[in-house]
Structure 1
Amino acid sequence: MATLQNLPGAFSELIKLTEEKYSIDFTLIDMNASLSAINQNLFLSANAFIIPTNPDPFSIMAINTLTTTLP
């Protein structure tokens, strides 16, 4: 299907066009905790990300691991 050839780039372009049309400065996207292709695409096109966690030892360990993976 020709319409789906550039689906990964389509999300980024749709967000950009919507921001321009409505003069949006910041766009927050609430994603679930899966590794779906859509989530991966949105994550890679983001300028920044926020990870909500609980202040427990396992979350702290996960954040420490993440900081070595994503400098």
Structure 2
Amino acid sequence: MRSLAEYERSLCPLCGLPRSICQDPKAELTLHAETSVCWATAHMQQAMKRWTDANGRDNPAANALTAHLTC
């Protein structure tokens, strides 16, 4: 447990990489990022927005929405 806690403290809270890598000044020149779309998340967010638009943002259930995918 202590080893896990120590390891987790060594990680950057923003990117999840070890701080020794992402916070090294040389990383600016060596790290590269790419973007992509998680279509599953996009569809689930759209479904939750449709529900919120139909039922109101002030509806207490709006803060407890979940979504699932079907194929």
TM-score (norm 1): 0.28
| Greater length-normalized contact order (CA 8 Å, ≥ 6 residues apart) | 1
The structure with more radius of gyration: 2
TM-score (norm 2): 0.28
